[in-house]
Structure 1
Amino acid sequence: MPKILVLYHSTYGHIEAMAEAVAEGARQVEGAVVDIKRVPETVPDDLARKSGYKMDQAAPIASVDELGDYDAVIIGAGTRFGTAASQMRSFLDQTGGLWFKGQMVGKVGSAFTSSATQHGGNETTLIGMIQTLLHHGMVVAGLPYAWAGQMTLDEITGGTPYGASTITGGDGSRMPSANELEGARFQGRYVAETAAKLHG
């Protein structure tokens, strides 16, 4: 019975929607226990409100120490200048104690992201997050081409072999498409299946 954590940071709700789809996919695996949590917001509350941040996110705030309680951790954050948003980076930078104790070794790790444009750094962001997972000794699962939706030419869409992604548009008005959400669900299911095989 794999225990899965979907851990995310979402400024405007795009990654939150992707996180919910990832969790939905993971829950399709029989016996999987799936939690959705978010990393602490580092932007002051008044500035976040003035900047239009989505403040009503239901997911509870995660603590670093609890990551070791899970068989798989799937992390999601938006792209900032080609790397993960600083809120996620700050959280991951606090995991040195877990690394020192080897608490994440052999667990499944995975990542998903968003960017404003098709070529706005989603792949570099995913690879950067995956590097952190590898430093922890985690077994990395991406988004296999078995999910053919990432190869479509019928529409503009996110999706990479490194992980699910969505494109928000320059003004942030575009929410994840049905195709992008299906990629997120596929990834969540794939991670949970992998964790079940490794830890079953």
Structure 2
Amino acid sequence: MAKVLIVYYSLYGHVHRLAKAISSGAGSVEGTQVSIKRVPETLSDDIIEKMGAKDIQQKIRRTIPEVSLDDLTNSDAIVFGTPTRFGNMCAQMKTFLDSTGGIWSRGELFGKVGSVFTSSNTQHGGQESTILTFLPYLFHQGMIIVGLPYLFKGQTIMSEITGCSPYGASCVAGENSSRSVSQNEVDGAFFQGKYVALITKNICENREQYFKTLVSLNNKKIKGG
């Protein structure tokens, strides 16, 4: 089984909705096992209530378990989801990623598939920069990066405001986070999940040769052309 892990943070539920769609897409690939986990909260319950997110946070906490470091190392692919905070990932996600130094030092995510999705309040609220500034983490961990290719034709529509870019699925939450995730944005997330699962499954089916090749890279001195 190819194990796909979706790890996300969602305050008002938009990234949560995209995570569900990515899970459905990945789960549509036969021979794929999908799990969804959330990163730990760093805001107090009092602050969350003042931000008007108490109800959705309680629902997420009841239904989605917290991620552990073992969840990362036991997966073949990891799809990360974060809302946009001034063009970057949220503090909750950054705090969790900063706890993975030991994993990095042991190379435990090396060769795994990595992908990212996001949301922002406005149409030009930093969705692409959030994903692009997330990618260095995946590079440092030695992961194989998968985005959302233009094979998903929903990226090119001009009939509505919508998220999604070649870097990953996304949605526009609206100025007060009151906009629902659109069907096109859900479709983009589903496509990304399926794309990640197909690539991961192919790697897993050729796992012995794949990792033999990776090990050989570590043992050989690579000369410049």
TM range (shorter): over 0.9
Whether the 8 Å contact between 1:64 and 1:91 is mirrored in structure 2 is: no
Aligned twin of 1:69 = 74
Q: Which runs of 5+ in 2 are unaligned?
A: 206-225
What is the rounded CA distance, in whole Å, between the counterparts of 2:32 and 2:166 in structure 1? 23
Corresponding residue for 2:185? Answer: 180
Contact between 1:38 and 1:61, CA under 8 Å: does it hold in 2?
Answer: yes
Greater per-residue helix proportion = 2
CA displacement 1:7-60 (0-9 Å, x = unmatched)? 100000000000000000000000100000100010011221221122211111
2:20 aligns to what? Answer: 20
Question: How far, CA to CA, are the matches of 2:69 and 2:44 in structure 1?
Answer: 21
Matched, 1:143 2:145: no
Give the AA of the match of 1:26. A
User: Cα distance, 1:140 vs. partner?
Assistant: 0.3
Equivalent residues of 1:77, 1:112 under 8 A apart? yes
The alpha-carbon deviation at position 66 of structure 1 amounts to 2.2
In structure 2, what is the Cα distance between the partners aligned to 1:197 and 1:18?
Answer: 24
| Deviating more after overlay: 52-61 vs 171-180 | 52-61
Counterpart of 1:20, as a letter, is: K
The answer (yes or no) to whether the contact 1:65–1:98 under 8 Å persists in 2 is no
Of 154, 158, 162, which aligns to 1:153?
Answer: 158
Out of 193, 196, 201, the position equivalent to 1:196 is 201
* Alignment counterpart, residue 162 of structure 1, candidates 155, 167, 185: 167
Q: Distance in 2 between matches of 1:89 and 1:9?
A: 10
Match of 1:36 in 2: 36
Give the distance between the partners of 1:79 and 1:107, measured in 2 at CA: 24
What percent identity do the matched residue pairs reach?
A: 49
The one-letter amino acid paired with 1:139 is: I
1:83 correspondence with 2:88: yes
TM-score under structure 1 length normalisation:
0.98
* Shift >3 Å, 4+ stretches: none
Task: Give the TM-score, by structure 2 length.
Answer: 0.87
Alignment partner of 2:147: what SS?
Answer: coil
Q: Displacement of 1:174 after TM fit?
A: 0.5
2:96 paired with 1:102:
no
Alignment correspondent of 2:8? 8
Q: Alignment partner of 2:49: what SS?
A: helix
Rg (Cα) greater in structure: 2
